[in-house]
Chain A
Amino acid sequence: MTVDSTGEPLIVEGLSLALDIGGVQLNALRDVSFSLRPGEARGLVGESGSGKSLTLRAILGLLPPNARITSGRMVVAGQEFDLTRTDRDHRRRIARLRGAQIAMIFQEPGVALNPVVPVGRQIVDAVARRNGLTKRAAREYALHLMELVGIHDAAAKIDAYPFELSGGLKQRVMIAAAVAGEPQLILCDEPTTALDVTVQKQILSLFTHLRDELHASLLYVTHDLAVVAQLCDSVTVLYSGEVMESSDDLRAVFDGAQHPYTEALLHSTPDVDRIEQRLYSIPGSAASLSDRTDGCQFAPRCEYARDDCRTGSIPDTSGTPGRVVRCLHKVGAPADGVPVGGIDG
């Protein structure tokens, strides 16, 4: 197994996924593609139900039993994977990535740690097994990692059980366990959502710190664009299991969102500078799995939508490398003489 350190730590191409719900196949992800450069932090943004978490779990082969990948390939450090395969050999190859190449931090530290095993052991159990560490060395390493993630009295906490720690500490433990195998890529599944606001800030700055320290890439799933602005270099916006807009340069999106959905998301993000403004809220509610339609998924809620948005698949219209905009009537682009926002969906 050769590790190509110069190659992209992760490329995902054309990932589509169906969920079996009560015997009905529903498309949860459709043609999702993105990639990460070494050391890059990409935000994967969307409302709940947009398929962000499923995307992460698909990468690690940790999908629930009712999920089936219908198309898609990925490249991790030079190794290629056909994600539709389910055979033993493929599962082994994916399993070998876990922890060593790609690690994941879960949303709820309260339920993602084994309740009956001390946290110190959970931080290093996988690594110790992989690298054949002695008990003593493993413990030392656990202490080191706990300090790395900012647990100050690590020696006092190493034998604690998860239920004895606060949410923030548990999340730090999980981060320590994730970085234990020195992965090149860390998938973060809304790691601060379940935490108090003050703790969220600390964890976010821990991520910034860890990125510099470990030179790892981050794929950061969140519904909060403010977090993306603080932490990420690039962004991919998902809606109803499809990529709406994507950019290798975060500023390009924040300064000039081209997809109406991204624009709406930006408007609905609280901004300290505009505190007295009322927050914008997107009309309607996020499409549920069974509502998936032909054409643009966002069309039913889009101010700019026209008839052509409701048929076929929407191509990338950005025209710029490193940028994807799946929209026929981009924000700020006058098309066919129809005034922007002129026709209401």
Chain B
Amino acid sequence: MLRWFARRLLLAIPVVWGVVTISFFMMHLAPGDPARTALGEKASNASVAALRHQWGLDQSMPLQYLNYLKQLVHGDLGTSVYYHAPITSLMAQRLPVTIILVVLSAILTMLISVPLASRSATHPNGIAAVAVRLFNAVVQGAPTFFIGAMLILFLGVRIAIFPAGGYPADIGGRAWALVLPALTIALGTVPIMVRGLRAAMIESYGSEYVAFARSKGLPERPIRYGYVLRNAGISGVSILGIQVGALASGALVIEQVFAIPGMGSMLMTGILNRDYALVQACTLVFGLLVVVVYLGTDLAYARLDPRARLS
């Protein structure tokens, strides 16, 4: 198992390298001069040149690339022009918020999807199944921010259970404030998850191993949990792994809608203020985050499915 995971880690290295390299070239091959943009059109050529020198933009591309790598190894993501602060310390405040938001939405996705999929798998013509289909049809077409706006309207304003936005200082308030945003992100993933889980569960219910379990006299409940969900859960985990990119994308938008100070809103701040280093760092960290989640998915997959450990 350990060796298996070590191999997975090794295989992830080229992807990590690729993510780093793309984030570097994306910013350095872009049209325009970051230093000029940072200082504004009215800045003198001398001060722009000074900033270019400070950022190392006057060096050759390979040298800049090496410097970039060197900085990253030391955990240095550069300096934000807008915040006048090292990006690493900004990340330390923002990243946990987004991670909590994404994890929460992943949990909500599962909490909503499993019962829905389970119900519509066992009762394919029941009310729940029809409701799920209608829900899927509408929700998958609606933009995330629209769902967010609707949730704010109904659960934040009309029936004010949850705050309509913001991120209070106390822990309890924060947890409460994250429910609606997480729910919004989750709703975007639920249709995909329900479809995948339902298909897997229907397949599992029709399988010979479930028939054999029944023939042994195992009641339906343990069959549902120990057999059907256990097997369908494997595809659920991989769907969740793939969807983490979508969850992160959702977080980016939803942090705007709910005014949550996470990575997404920091990226947007960077974009609106043309803070190149900040945008670059946020893109990179989001990319690395997804690679880490993919690895985690592999690990979870191997824990759930003994066959996966073989290959």
| Among B215, B218, B234, B305: residue with most chain A CB under 10 A | B215
**CB proximity to A under 8 Å, residues B181-231:** 206-209, 211-219, 222, 226-227, 230-231
Binary interface encoding of chain A residues 135-153 relative to chain B, with 1 for a CB under 8 A from any of its CBs, else 0 = 0000000000000000000
Find chain A residues with CB under 8 A from B207 CB. 111
Instruction: Report the count of interface residues on B (CB-CB < 8 A).
Output: 24
Residue A95 CB within 8 A of the other chain: yes
The answer to whether A62 touches B216 (Cβ under 8 A) is: no
Find chain B residues with CB under 8 A from A181 CB. 216-217
Give the complex CA separation of A181 and B214 in angstroms: 13
The answer to whether A174 touches B212 (Cβ under 8 A) is: yes
**CB proximity to B under 8 Å, residues A273-295:** none
The answer to whether B216 touches A114 (Cβ under 8 A) is: no
The answer to whether A125 touches B212 (Cβ under 8 A) is: no
Give the complex CA separation of A100 and B218 in angstroms: 10
B76 CB, min distance to chain A CBs, angstroms = 44
Residue B306 CB within 8 A of the other chain: yes
- Of all chain B residues, the one with the shortest Cβ separation from A177 is B216
**CB proximity to B under 8 Å, residues A153-210:** 161, 163-164, 174, 177-178, 180-181
In the complex, the number of residue pairs spanning A and B with C-beta atoms less than 8 Å apart equals: 91
The answer to whether B209 touches A111 (Cβ under 8 A) is: yes
**CB-CB under 8 A for A129 and B219, given A62-B214, A111-B207, A114-B230:** yes
Give the complex CA separation of A164 and B217 in angstroms: 25
- Of all chain A residues, the one with the shortest Cβ separation from B220 is A95
Residue A45 CB within 8 A of the other chain: no
The answer to whether A180 touches B216 (Cβ under 8 A) is: yes
| Among A108, A126, A174, A180: residue with most chain B CB under 10 A | A126
**CB proximity to B under 8 Å, residues A24-83:** 57, 60, 62, 64
The answer to whether B212 touches A98 (Cβ under 8 A) is: no
Residue A99 CB within 8 A of the other chain: yes
The answer to whether A129 touches B215 (Cβ under 8 A) is: no
Find chain A residues with CB under 8 A from B208 CB. 106, 108, 111-112
Residue A19 CB within 8 A of the other chain: no
Residue B139 CB within 8 A of the other chain: no
Which range holds the interface residue count of chain A?
Answer: 35 or more
| Among B206, B208, B209: residue with most chain A CB under 10 A | B209
Find chain A residues with CB under 8 A from B222 CB. 125, 129
Give the complex CA separation of A88 and B218 in angstroms: 17
Residue A333 CB within 8 A of the other chain: no
The answer to whether A163 touches B215 (Cβ under 8 A) is: no
A109 CB, min distance to chain B CBs, angstroms = 9
A224 CB, min distance to chain B CBs, angstroms = 21
- Of all chain A residues, the one with the shortest Cβ separation from B228 is A114
**CB-CB under 8 A for A178 and B216, given A111-B208, A116-B230, A116-B306:** yes
Find chain A residues with CB under 8 A from B215 CB. 60, 62, 98-99, 103-104, 106, 178
Find chain B residues with CB under 8 A from A64 CB. 206
B297 CB, min distance to chain A CBs, angstroms = 16
Find chain B residues with CB under 8 A from A10 CB. none
The answer to whether A103 touches B231 (Cβ under 8 A) is: no
Find chain A residues with CB under 8 A from B226 CB. 114, 117, 125
Find chain A residues with CB under 8 A from B211 CB. 57, 62, 106, 112
- Of all chain A residues, the one with the shortest Cβ separation from B218 is A126
The answer to whether A126 touches B212 (Cβ under 8 A) is: no
Residue A339 CB within 8 A of the other chain: no
Residue A113 CB within 8 A of the other chain: yes
The answer to whether A116 touches B234 (Cβ under 8 A) is: yes
- Of all chain A residues, the one with the shortest Cβ separation from B230 is A116
Find chain A residues with CB under 8 A from B306 CB. 115-116, 161, 163-164
Chain B residues in the interface with A (C-beta under 8 A): 206-209, 211-219, 222, 226-227, 230-231, 234, 304-307, 310
Q: Which A-B residue pairs are the 3 nearest by beta carbons?
A: A99-B217, A126-B216, A98-B217
Q: List 25 A-B contacts (CB under 8 A).
A: A62-B214, A95-B217, A96-B217, A98-B214, A104-B215, A111-B209, A112-B209, A114-B213, A114-B227, A115-B209, A115-B306, A116-B306, A116-B307, A117-B227, A125-B216, A125-B218, A126-B213, A127-B216, A129-B219, A129-B222, A130-B217, A161-B307, A163-B307, A174-B212, A178-B215
Known: A113-B212, A178-B216. 8 other contacts (CB 8 A): A106-B208, A115-B306, A115-B307, A116-B234, A117-B227, A126-B217, A177-B212, A178-B215
